[in-house]
Amino acid sequence: MSELFYLIAGFLVSLIISAKVVPIVIRVSYQLNLFAVPNSRSSTIYRIPTLGGISIFFGFIMGMTLTSDGYFVSGAVYIIAAVLIMFFVGLKDDIVTLSARKKLISQVAVAAILIFLGDFRFTSLHGFLGIGTIPLIPSALLTGFVYIVFINAFNLIDGIDGLAAGLGIFTASFFGIWFFMTGHTEFSIISFSLVGGLSGFFLYNVYGKKNKIFMGDTGSLVVGTIMGVLVIQFNEFNIDQTAPYAIFASPAVSFGILIYPLMDTLRVFSIRLSQKKSPFTADKNHTHHRLLALGLNHRQATYLILAINALFSLTILNINWIGIIWLMAFNLFAGGLLLLLPSYLLSMQDKISKDDPHQQILLFNYREPIKARIKKIIIDKGQFRITKVISEKLRRISFW
């Protein structure tokens, strides 16, 4: 019972602190003129404060530290150190803008702290491709890559109201419940401290009118860092398949739980690389931008993505018995189709201008809309059919 008390306390402390900090951040942002300036890539036309991540950071830190009495997390100081670094990197980027190179260097440094000092790393591939325990160097390289992917994934999906926060709330809640059920209360407190911090921000981000605020890099980099730690520990605790509530094929399951941020990142990176651009170049190729172009508003697009992500997660949890390889294949195939569907619908309706520098129709740059190509094919076939009939008539005439 005491475990549940600390869990709820962690959530409530972080929620209250986050909700109390947001109005202060908004007031200071107006005083210092710190806003997101709308441009051709923006999903809003209004000047909105961008430092909402401050509330998430303080809510999480206070919730985690004040309610973990008696539940020692080995390496917790390194989690705080990593989050603190990402917080200041994001804060500087939101105020004066950092280059992608500097942000990447800071992410590598954070990954190194968590891996080599905190020992938050993958130690096994769970039998994937017949590989079990992995040595330190391959483990560090794989884990470092995962940290960087997660940090950037949450940074990239922070494009419409409530999306990054909503997905963070959903995934952290899932991991928090699983940690609690399996007796890992310390990581459950960490998870629900993040849920509380995100929830306090979510209310203002989605439902705020005069007090509306964006997460900014200050928040998305922090959320991505914490999520990386939770995913790695989830997989580490599932190495022992004899433990209660152990989940088979946990690497593929954790990928499926975070299907939207991971697959959307893979999709936009593929588009940018195909255009010979830096994968960190900002554009409007994300699936949530496709949904906005189809006529949904921010709230509708966010809740639709959250619902699909939740249904997808439920599906993979129920079919995890098929094994890591097949489940990962299902993630890539089904997740890829789901994320391409809005783009396909747009291409059929010709709702994206061909000369829009920030958007492309599907995965690659089609020079003509699908309707135009179909029309051209029909005309070409029609002309070919007419030409064939005429030539046949002439042949018959010449024969007779």
Any idea where the domains of the chain sit in the sequence? 2-246, 248-366, 368-400
- Weakest mean pLDDT among 1-10, 138-147, 205-214, 376-385: 376-385
Q: Which backbone phi and psi does 355 adopt, to 5 degrees?
A: -100, 15
Rounded Cα–Cα distance for residues 149 and 135 (Å): 21
Chain centroid to CA 371: how far? 32
Give the pLDDT of residue 98: 87
235 close to 125: Cβ distance less than 8 angstroms: no
Q: Which residue has the higher pLDDT, 340 or 23?
A: 23
Q: Which residue has the higher pLDDT, 340 or 121?
A: 121
Q: Is the dihedral of CA 335, 277, 231, 306 positive or negative?
A: negative
| pLDDT band for position 385 (cuts 50, 70, 90) | low
Tokens found for residue 310? 């939740």
- Distances, alpha carbon 315 to alpha carbons 65, 263, 319, 375, 384, in Å: 35, 17, 6, 39, 49
Give the pLDDT of residue 362: 47
Cα 210–Cα 214–Cα 218 angle in degrees, nearest 5: 140
- Distances, alpha carbon 395 to alpha carbons 40, 92, 389, 390, 399, in Å: 59, 78, 10, 9, 6
Rounded Cα–Cα distance for residues 271 and 17 (Å): 40
Answer whether residue 250 shows pLDDT above 50: yes
Answer whether residue 394 shows pLDDT above 50: no
Give the pLDDT of residue 126: 85
Answer whether residue 370 shows pLDDT above 60: no
Give the pLDDT of residue 375: 54
Answer whether residue 363 shows pLDDT above 80: no
Answer whether residue 199 shows pLDDT above 90: yes
Share of the chain above pLDDT 90, in %: 57
Answer whether residue 289 shows pLDDT above 50: yes
Answer whether residue 44 shows pLDDT above 60: no
- Interval 153-169: pLDDT, tens: 999 998 899 999 999 99
| pLDDT band for position 142 (cuts 50, 70, 90) | very high
Q: At what angle do helices 324-349 and 250-257 cross, to 10 degrees?
A: 20
What are the CB-based long-range contacts (under 8 Å, 24+) for 299-302? 299/161, 299/162, 299/206, 301/160, 301/163, 302/160, 302/161, 302/162, 302/163, 302/166, 302/206
Q: Which residue has the higher pLDDT, 82 or 2?
A: 82
Give the pLDDT of residue 209: 80
Rounded Cα–Cα distance for residues 381 and 388 (Å): 10
Give the pLDDT of residue 398: 33
Mean per-residue pLDDT over the chain, rounded: 85
Answer whether residue 123 shows pLDDT above 90: yes
Closest CA relative to residue 161, chosen from 208, 221, 200: 208
223 close to 198: Cβ distance less than 8 angstroms: yes
The arithmetic mean of pLDDT across residues 248-267, rounded, is 93
Q: Which residue has the higher pLDDT, 33 or 254?
A: 254
Q: Which residue has the higher pLDDT, 257 or 42?
A: 257
Share of the chain above pLDDT 70, in %: 83
- Interval 21-40: pLDDT, tens: 999 999 998 888 877 665 55
- Interval 65-80: pLDDT, tens: 988 776 667 788 999 9
Closest CA relative to residue 183, chosen from 308, 2, 321: 2
Give the pLDDT of residue 366: 43
Helix (H) / strand (E) element for 60: namely: helix 53-66
Q: Which residue has the higher pLDDT, 116 or 284?
A: 116
The pTM (predicted TM-score) of the whole model is: 0.85
Answer whether residue 16 shows pLDDT above 50: yes
- Weakest mean pLDDT among 203-207, 214-218, 391-395: 391-395
Give the pLDDT of residue 396: 39
The arithmetic mean of pLDDT across residues 122-149, rounded, is 91
Rounded Cα–Cα distance for residues 370 and 382 (Å): 18
Q: Which backbone phi and psi does 29 adopt, to 5 degrees?
A: -60, -40
34 close to 95: Cβ distance less than 8 angstroms: yes
The arithmetic mean of pLDDT across residues 369-387, rounded, is 52
